[in-house]
Amino acid sequence: MNRNISAQAWTTLARKLRVDEACLRAVAIVESSGRGFLPSPSVLPKVLFEGHVFHRLTQGHFDVGSPGLSYPHWDRSKYSGTLAGEWKRLDAACALDQDAALQSASWGAFQLMGFNYRLCGFDDVDAFVAAHKTGADEQLAAFARFIARRPFLGALRAKDWKRFAYAYNGPSYAKNRYDSRLAATYARYCGDDALVR
């Protein structure tokens, strides 16, 4: 299993999408510090379980019995605070409703939400998860399919970080300074702090 995206895979994708390679790398760095897997010896991909999504996909059926896993609004305090802890939360949710649970987590180096499996080129969420477990280049391929459309591609080509951040992380992106973190990461990668906007 390849735990790190190969240099050739980054270059090939950047050329194919006609996007600055540093833009693509910046997304991975901001989303996952550029690493899509838990530290060795684990072979599991990084996940972040989102209980508000699980609530939506299960119509709140588990809110009362499992309030740490299912709740109506995003709540940072529900996160475990560790990579292994998020897998424990995901496993617990899978015991309640596996399909909904897998769709309710973000996966890998690009933290793609499981419910986007079709937009990432998969027939079902199980295939999406299997690809994320297979290797880093497979995570990159899923990301490539996801962003190869409007508004993501145009925003990345233009380095319009606000537009990309809104599309990728939703309207509350500014709370986490997602756009400015992308811009700063891109600038650092290029070695030019003047690129920070």
Range of the domain at 103: 47-135
Q: Is the pLDDT of residue 96 over 70?
A: yes
* Whether residue 63 sits in one domain with residue 129: yes
What does the alpha-carbon distance between residue 173 and residue 176 come to, in Å, rounded to a whole number? Answer: 6
State the pLDDT at residue 192: 54
State the pLDDT at residue 39: 95
Q: Does a structural domain hold residue 23?
A: yes
Domain count, the chain: 2
Q: For residue range 21-55, list pLDDT tens digits in order.
A: 999 999 999 999 999 999 999 999 999 999 999 99
* Half-sphere exposure for 86 (CA within 13 Å, toward CB): 23
| Maximum C-alpha span of the chain | 51
* Whether residue 98 sits in one domain with residue 164: no
Q: For residue range 154-189, list pLDDT tens digits in order.
A: 999 999 999 999 999 998 898 889 999 999 999 998
Last residue of one domain, picked from the residues 109, 135, 161: 135
> pTM for the complete prediction?
0.93
State the pLDDT at residue 175: 83
Q: Is the pLDDT of residue 149 over 90?
A: yes
State the pLDDT at residue 32: 96
Average pLDDT, integer, range 11-27 = 96
Last residue of one domain, picked from the residues 106, 135, 164: 135
Q: Could you give the C-alpha distances from 73 to 67, 77, 143, 176, in angstroms and in order?
A: 11, 11, 26, 16
Q: Does a structural domain hold residue 2?
A: no
* Whether residue 33 sits in one domain with residue 51: no
Average pLDDT score, the chain: 94
